[in-house]
Structure 1
Amino acid sequence: MKTTRRTLIALALASAGLTPLAALAQGAGSWPTKPVRVIVNFPAGGAADTLARAIGQPLSEALGQPVVIENRGGANGNIGGEAVARAPADGYTLLMSSGGMVSINPHLYARMAFDPAKDLVPVASAARIAVYLMTKPQLPVNNVQEFLRYAKANPGKLTFGSPGNGSSPHLAAEMMKSQAGLFAVHVPYRGAAPALQDLLAGQIDFHFDPGVGLQHAKTGRLKLLAVGSPKRSPLYPDVPTLAEAGLKGFDADSVFGFYAPAGTPPEVITRLNTEINKVLGTKAIQDRIVALGGEALPLTPAQFAAKASEDSKRFGAIIRERKIAAE
């Protein structure tokens, strides 16, 4: 009788003391066997980059493999997002992004080269990042009420920066303009860091900072007037929310987190979610996130997906109202 291929495989597994199911489990459990690449879809120096690098080191130790950070910014995060969406779904390429690419960009772009909701899967949220209303020191205002009055009295004379057209800091400014009835000129940049540099240089008048400029507010190089969250920041308990200034229900927070290509094995996503949430539970990482003006936000993949859907509705409304489109 001829020995079939199936019989030979079964004999080989038996000689190794493994059943076919055990062999499959062993293969899944062997991940990772090489470095894991995390693509940050914004330039170095911004909140997404800072979070990726802060979490990447302890995550590397937990996985037993290097976690390599690669910045690939542009098009409001779409360039880096597409790179991950097109990558092999093997757990070795991840995306660190603000929630904007998933919750905002589909409302901005008539066409995208990929569908974030279908081509990417949520792995683990990292942080809820607040945005802070900051002005250059030369602006003749000392609190948020004075700023709103000054902006209304000088329509079109003030300029504000953002990490890009349709980014959450841009939408925060548009929410403020809509509710306060004021007009200011938007200057989009390729990331939060270059926008911050021009604010420090006095080239623009104000912006909503996603945390990277807080160190300069502490030293007086910038004026910190308000936070765009529903509640005050524990880092700056004396800084009011915009809701307290009369802009009711104002919420411009964004959730940053990790995504993987659709089709990534569920057991790999579970492992990553577990390890990232452990990292988020450490005081060292929580302190780093607080320094960015945010808070650690460990969620399950399902909870992360639900939050993205909720944010999509909120930001989509202001995009339609203000007729914002990608440039």
Structure 2
Amino acid sequence: MRRRNLTLAALAAGGSLALLPGGAAWSAETYPDKPLRLIVGFAPGGGADALTRIIAEGLSKQLGQQVIVENRPGADGVLAAQATSSAKPDGYTLLMGTNTAMVAAPTLRPTAPYDPFKAFTPISSAGQFSMFLVVPSSLPAKSVNELLALVAAKPGAYNSASSNSASELAMLQLLGERKVVNARYKGDMQAMTDLLGGQIHMMFTTGTLAPGFVKEGRIRALVTLLPQRSALLPDVPTGSELGLGKLTITPWAGFFGPPGLPQAITAKLSQELQNTLKRPDVHAQLVQQGFEGYGMSPAKFTEFFRAQYDAFGATVRQHNVKFE
């Protein structure tokens, strides 16, 4: 009882202690005082894993504590998300979440695995994956308008490729009522191989794959989904430049904590993540991965998250997309 009274007295006096759910105390001056766990829903060695490790190393330097990356692949990132959601909200378990687990899974599945706005605390954006619409050089389309004209002239004669729901829905937004046959691949590299061979006519792919082939003249990049031109392919216009306001799907990643994460912890983590993403060493490594890193305040990130979720859901309903 005496310890409890002292804690309450400190709070009443305007001290820096706060009570976590369950009654544990947290101090702004001492947090973090042990390593953090950053969960990612993809296997080691992949693009999302590489990005997570780059940011984790920078965050470790910012916080003065080790940030340990934990891979929990499977179920489209849902396993990693659920592990985070059920963790203690003390600031020591974070999620590197992407469109797949935070938007696609709860939107497309007949039974949503969780409500992403109740099961997590948004902390900060991590940034956006560079995504480009590409076509083989053999296809007689040098612009988005020329591509759309080809598709409209021969409904069903052309095909597209995808390896994730974000690229599929972006293609649906681009094409509107124009018909193509979509082929689903397990990864972009397999799809790119077929596009280079002429079996595939168009696809949205990442900044990791596209630039090299564009510079070799083997494919053309017609538009980027980024809100600004990418340094990887600065000659490729954005959707807004082309008047394609309907392209609202953005392949992004962000940081989340368990529900009930105290505001003070959320704010500190958000600021340190934003500082991490501004570090020259982190920025340079992310650019090499085709990733545009930037942070947001919790409020801004929540607003962005909601807008992306709503746009995704609207496209799913408009085109009657079903989970398979």
Tell me if both proteins adopt one fold, taking TM over 0.5 as the criterion: yes
Shift of 1:96: 0.9
Which residue of 2 is the match for residue 172 of structure 1?
A: 170
State whether residues 85 and 114 of structure 1, in contact with CA within 8 Å, keep that contact through their aligned partners in structure 2: no
State whether residues 129 and 254 of structure 1, in contact with CA within 8 Å, keep that contact through their aligned partners in structure 2: yes
Shift of 1:183: 1.9
Aligned with residue 270 of structure 2, among 273, 288, 310: 273
Supply the distance in 2 between the matched residues of 1:41 and 1:254 (Cα, whole angstroms).
15
Give the TM-score normalised by the residue count of structure 2: 0.80
Shift of 1:103: 3.8
Supply the distance in 2 between the matched residues of 1:191 and 1:306 (Cα, whole angstroms).
30
Q: Residue deviations 1:92-132, cap 9 Å, x none? A: 22111224533444332231222211111101111134421
Which amino acid in 1 is paired with 2:210?
L
State whether residues 134 and 210 of structure 2, in contact with CA within 8 Å, keep that contact through their aligned partners in structure 1: no
Q: Which runs of 5 or more residues in structure 2 are unaligned?
A: 19-24
| CA separation of 1:154 and 1:281: change in aligned 2, threshold 3 A | same
Which amino acid in 2 is paired with 1:28?
S
Q: Is it true that 1:325 corresponds to 2:318 in the alignment?
A: no
State whether residues 211 and 233 of structure 2, in contact with CA within 8 Å, keep that contact through their aligned partners in structure 1: no
Q: Residue deviations 1:274-309, cap 9 Å, x none? A: 111111222333344444555333211111001111
| CA separation of 1:220 and 1:110: change in aligned 2, threshold 3 A | same
Which amino acid in 1 is paired with 2:172?
E
Which amino acid in 1 is paired with 2:180?
A
Supply the distance in 2 between the matched residues of 1:317 and 1:198 (Cα, whole angstroms).
30
Which residue of 1 is the match for residue 207 of structure 2?
A: 211
Give the TM-score normalised by the residue count of structure 1: 0.80
| CA separation of 1:89 and 1:214: change in aligned 2, threshold 3 A | same
Q: Is it true that 1:264 corresponds to 2:248 in the alignment?
A: no
Supply the distance in 2 between the matched residues of 1:265 and 1:101 (Cα, whole angstroms).
23
Supply the distance in 2 between the matched residues of 1:193 and 1:35 (Cα, whole angstroms).
35
Q: Residue deviations 1:126-146, cap 9 Å, x none? A: 113442101344545444344
State whether residues 58 and 282 of structure 2, in contact with CA within 8 Å, keep that contact through their aligned partners in structure 1: no
State whether residues 230 and 249 of structure 1, in contact with CA within 8 Å, keep that contact through their aligned partners in structure 2: no
State whether residues 124 and 298 of structure 2, in contact with CA within 8 Å, keep that contact through their aligned partners in structure 1: yes
State whether residues 277 and 283 of structure 2, in contact with CA within 8 Å, keep that contact through their aligned partners in structure 1: yes
Supply the distance in 2 between the matched residues of 1:304 and 1:249 (Cα, whole angstroms).
21
5 Å-filtered alignment, 1:52-63, equals 52-63=52-63
5 Å-filtered alignment, 1:74-93, equals 74-93=74-93
Which residue of 1 is the match for residue 247 of structure 2?
A: 250
| CA separation of 1:189 and 1:74: change in aligned 2, threshold 3 A | farther
Q: How many residues align?
A: 313
State whether residues 163 and 186 of structure 2, in contact with CA within 8 Å, keep that contact through their aligned partners in structure 1: yes
Query: Which deviates further from its counterpart, 266-275 or 134-143?
Result: 134-143
Which residue of 1 is the match for residue 98 of structure 2?
A: 98
Q: Residue deviations 1:262-282, cap 9 Å, x none? A: 123333222211111111222
SS of corresponding position for 1:65: coil
State whether residues 42 and 72 of structure 1, in contact with CA within 8 Å, keep that contact through their aligned partners in structure 2: yes
| CA separation of 1:218 and 1:90: change in aligned 2, threshold 3 A | farther
Q: Residue deviations 1:9-35, cap 9 Å, x none? A: 489x89xxxx76569568434433433
State whether residues 278 and 294 of structure 2, in contact with CA within 8 Å, keep that contact through their aligned partners in structure 1: no
| CA separation of 1:31 and 1:241: change in aligned 2, threshold 3 A | closer
Which residue of 1 is the match for residue 313 of structure 2?
A: 316
Aligned with residue 304 of structure 2, among 303, 307, 310: 307
Supply the distance in 1 between the matched residues of 2:189 and 2:83 (Cα, whole angstroms).
22
Shift of 1:221: 4.7
Which residue of 2 is the match for residue 28 of structure 1?
A: 27
Shift of 1:155: 3.4
Query: Which deviates further from its counterpart, 139-148 or 64-73?
Result: 139-148
Shift of 1:229: 4.2
SS of corresponding position for 2:118: helix
State whether residues 158 and 185 of structure 1, in contact with CA within 8 Å, keep that contact through their aligned partners in structure 2: yes
Q: Is it true that 1:284 corresponds to 2:288 in the alignment?
A: no
Q: Is it true that 1:116 corresponds to 2:116 in the alignment?
A: yes
Shift of 1:206: 2.6
Shift of 1:45: 5.7
State whether residues 37 and 68 of structure 1, in contact with CA within 8 Å, keep that contact through their aligned partners in structure 2: yes
5 Å-filtered alignment, 1:66-81, equals 66-81=66-81
SS of corresponding position for 1:119: coil
| CA separation of 1:156 and 1:79: change in aligned 2, threshold 3 A | farther
Which residue of 2 is the match for residue 147 of structure 1?
A: 147
| CA separation of 1:289 and 1:39: change in aligned 2, threshold 3 A | same
Supply the distance in 2 between the matched residues of 1:23 and 1:183 (Cα, whole angstroms).
60
Shift of 1:258: 0.5
